[in-house]
Amino acid sequence: MKILLNGSPQEVPETTLSTLLENQGLGGAKVATAVNGAFIPATMRDDYLIQEGDSIEVLAPMQGG
């Protein structure tokens, strides 16, 4: 299925958000996720089904001052 991942068009076979993160090498990472502008908490990623055309943002926390 075709999605946008951090603004980049991707063709992915995954159906859940957690599987997508795992296959992108981010399965154990502390990241924030949003789909189509809506925050998806980590506790919901296993059940969140990705849809054709979704825009998914994965953000890592940053430190600084």
Domain limits of the chain? 2-59
What's the pLDDT band for 65 if we cut at 50, 70, 90?
low
Q: Could you tell me which residues come within 8 angstroms of residue 56 by beta carbon, excluding any fewer than 6 positions away?
A: 3, 4, 5, 6, 17, 20, 33, 34, 35, 50
Question: Would you say residue 62 has pLDDT above 80?
Answer: no
Give the homologous superfamily in CATH for domain 2-59. Beta-grasp domain (3.10.20.30)
Instruction: Please report, rounded to a whole number, the percentage of residues in the chain having pLDDT higher than 70.
Output: 95
Dump pLDDT digits (tens) for 15-55: 999 999 999 999 888 999 999 999 999 999 999 999 999 99
Which two structure tokens, joined as six digits, stand for 22? 């795992």
